[in-house]
């Protein structure tokens, strides 16, 4: 289909058909990667699971890596706790712990795909470099955001270092919960964050 015609059709459709196609492909990708991991998941199988052709995949995504990254961005959103202005650090950490515990339960069905992404990042230097750049920017924003709710003097370390510790703790708790939910219960998750205060 000519680019101009494709663009015109998208404008008429409001992007709805394309968005639905992408959503189906993302859901199929999550299912296939959850079952097989990233390296063994093929675009043919993903397309078949979505009830589409491989051409539909390439019509919406540059390659399997881009599809995988869109999946992670769509399904693995940052955990944003509802901090309360004026609350002391221990209360804020309790709020964060409760939010992480709730998200751990909600994200359990995404554990295999998230683990596949971790493995992919560990084995692909370009992805690690990309994550380092993205995370550095995220940590700067998080540090500024945290200081809106918790004064720097209440923190056990500089805010930019503290948010890195929080991120590492969140990631570790989530994946340990996915493996052993009977042992990493809500009270354990909350206690881990309160211990930082």
**Model's pTM, two decimal places?**
0.78
Supply 161's token pair. 């270092």
At 153-178, the pLDDT tens digits run 999 999 999 999 999 999 999 999 99
Supply 79's token pair. 């955990």
pLDDT at 3: 40
% residues pLDDT > 70 (the chain): 92
Does residue 140 have a pLDDT over 90? yes
pLDDT at 112: 84
At 44-66, the pLDDT tens digits run 999 999 999 999 999 999 988 88
d(CA 195, CA 193): 5
> What kind of architecture, by CATH, is found in domain 3-74?
Orthogonal Bundle (1.10)
pLDDT at 15: 61
Q: Find out whether 110 and 171 touch, Cβ atoms under 8 Å.
A: no
Token pair 């390296």: residue: 39
At 68-111, the pLDDT tens digits run 888 888 878 889 999 999 999 999 999 999 999 999 999 998 88
């Amino acid at each position: 289909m000519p680019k101009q015609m494709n663009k015109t059709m998208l404008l008429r459709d409001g992007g709805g058909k394309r968005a639905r196609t992408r959503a189906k492909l993302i859901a199929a990708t999550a299912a296939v990667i959850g079952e097989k991991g990233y390296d063994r998941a093929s675009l043919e199988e993903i397309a078949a699971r979505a009830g589409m052709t491989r051409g539909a995949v390439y019509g919406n995504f540059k390659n399997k890596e881009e599809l995988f990254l869109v999946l992670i961005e769509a399904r693995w959103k940052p955990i944003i706790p509802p901090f309360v202005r004026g609350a002391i650090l221990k209360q804020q950490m309790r709020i964060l712990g409760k939010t992480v515990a709730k998200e751990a339960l909600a994200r359990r069905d995404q554990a295999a795909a998230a683990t596949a992404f971790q493995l992919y990042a560990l084995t692909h230097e370009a992805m690690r470099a990309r994550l380092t750049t993205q995370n550095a920017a995220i940590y700067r924003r998080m540090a500024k955001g945290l200081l809106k709710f918790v004064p720097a003097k209440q923190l056990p370390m500089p805010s930019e270092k503290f948010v890195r510790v929080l991120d590492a703790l969140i990631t570790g708790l989530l994946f340990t919960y996915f493996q052993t939910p009977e042992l990493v219960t809500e009270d354990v998750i909350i206690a881990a964050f309160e211990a930082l205060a």
